Structures are given as C-alpha cells and as structure tokens.
Amino acid sequence: MIYVVGRYEEEEEHFISTGEALFKAFFKVLDTKTQTWHTLPANYSEDKGVFSAGNSEFVDGKLHVVPWTSRCMAYNPKEARWEQADRVMGAFMSQNAYCEIDNVLCSAFLGFLRWYDTQSATWRNFMGLPQGFFSYSCHQIRLANFRGKIAAFWAQNFPCDDDDDDDDDDCDDKKMIWCAVIALDKRTSCEIWGIVESLDHVLTVPKDSNLVKALAATL
C-alpha cells in the first residue's frame, strides 16, 4: 500500500472574492496489487493544518503525519480512523532528516542522531556515537533506511584557505556530499547503540545544489 496525504485549493472563486485560499484535504491509498486508488477519510477536525506538511512515517502500524505546528496525528488503517498521537513524536520529524528502521523512528537534529522510544514517549540519543555526530558545518542532512541500517547524507562546504586567491578553488563554487552507514544494535528496551560502518566523501556538487531527499531503492 502507498499512502498519499495532502491538500489542494478547492475553490478559486472563493480566493478571488475573499483573498483567502480555501483548502481541502485529501487522503488516498494505492493498492499496489490491483493498481487501484481508494479515497480514505480525511476527518482531521482537531487540527486543520494536519495536511499542510509532507512529513509522515509508518510506526507501530499507523501512519503518523506531522504538520508545521509539530502536532502529530496518526491514521489507524485497521480501524479506518485518525487519532491524536504523541506530540513529542513530531518534534524532530522535519526536512526529511528522519527515517524508520525496524519500527524505530530515527532522526538527525541539532548535530545528534536520535530515536523515538514509543514506550516512554521520549526521544533518546544513540549510544556509542560521538557527541554532536554532525558538526555545525554540516547541513541538509537526510536519512534513509538502507537494508536495516541508517544511511545518512549531508552537505559540507570545502575548507577554504584565506591565503588562496585562486578563483577556481573548490571552496568557492563546490561543496561535498558525505555519506555514513550506521548499524543499529538494540541492547535494552531503552538503549540503542549506533555503529558507524562507513564514512566517506562520496560526491562533489555545485555549491548552489540542494540535497532534497535520500531514498533506498529495492531492486
């Protein structure tokens, strides 16, 4: 199943007459076996902004959607209904810097790799990783589930030499894309260790390039 949530502007005439956009939510699912789309209930009365952002992930058998307000709503496919989820869960689900691995939600935020403990509704740091794994010079961090491991990508500017006046220097117009593969070792119910298996500069790109999203394809 592939779930799609979002919103669209319903009436152009309403905007013309009032100057305010009138949005309507939509929620659909694609049955990959029959290749058929189905419309699902999008009753989100408690928070009309729930579909204003595209941050979502499946955890504990529910589709969690996080709007910019950081409230977190969850769709229960077995009961075909929306419910309020833990607000704390959505705190670090932003900018595609998160992924799910073996029903564990992982996130990179403010230099730390964290995971969400659903039992205690708490974000915890991975053990075994250097404090502030991502330095402040790292930006556009993106995570993906790569064969049950975290694949982390991020951009970093080339270090510049103040005495180097060469206009063609990489630091002037290019940046580096780094990749780390991190295995997870869950030792207790509230302790997960991160083991860095690889860490490499994998690509050089123009400085104005943007790292949008990391995806792990299954072939």
Q: Write out pLDDT tens, residues 32-84.
A: 999 999 887 766 544 455 566 668 888 889 988 876 555 778 889 888 888 88
Say what the alpha-carbon torsion angle 128, 65, 73, 82 is, to the nearest 10 degrees: -130
Q: Write out pLDDT tens, residues 99-121.
A: 999 999 999 887 788 999 988 88
Per DSSP, 161 falls in state: -
Q: Write out pLDDT tens, residues 130-166.
A: 776 777 667 888 999 999 999 999 988 877 665 555 5
Residue partners of 163: CB distance under 8 A and separation at least 6? none
The pTM assigned to this predicted structure is 0.79
Inter-residue contact 53 to 25 (CB < 8 Å) = no
Give me the residue spans of the domains in the chain.
1-94, 95-219
Strands, E, within the chain: which ranges? 2-9, 23-31, 36-39, 55-59, 62-66, 73-76, 81-84, 98-101, 104-109, 112-117, 122-125, 138-146, 149-157, 174-188, 191-206
Could you give the CA distance from residue 159 to residue 180 in angstroms, rounded to a whole number? 20
At 178, is the secondary structure helix, strand, or coil?
strand
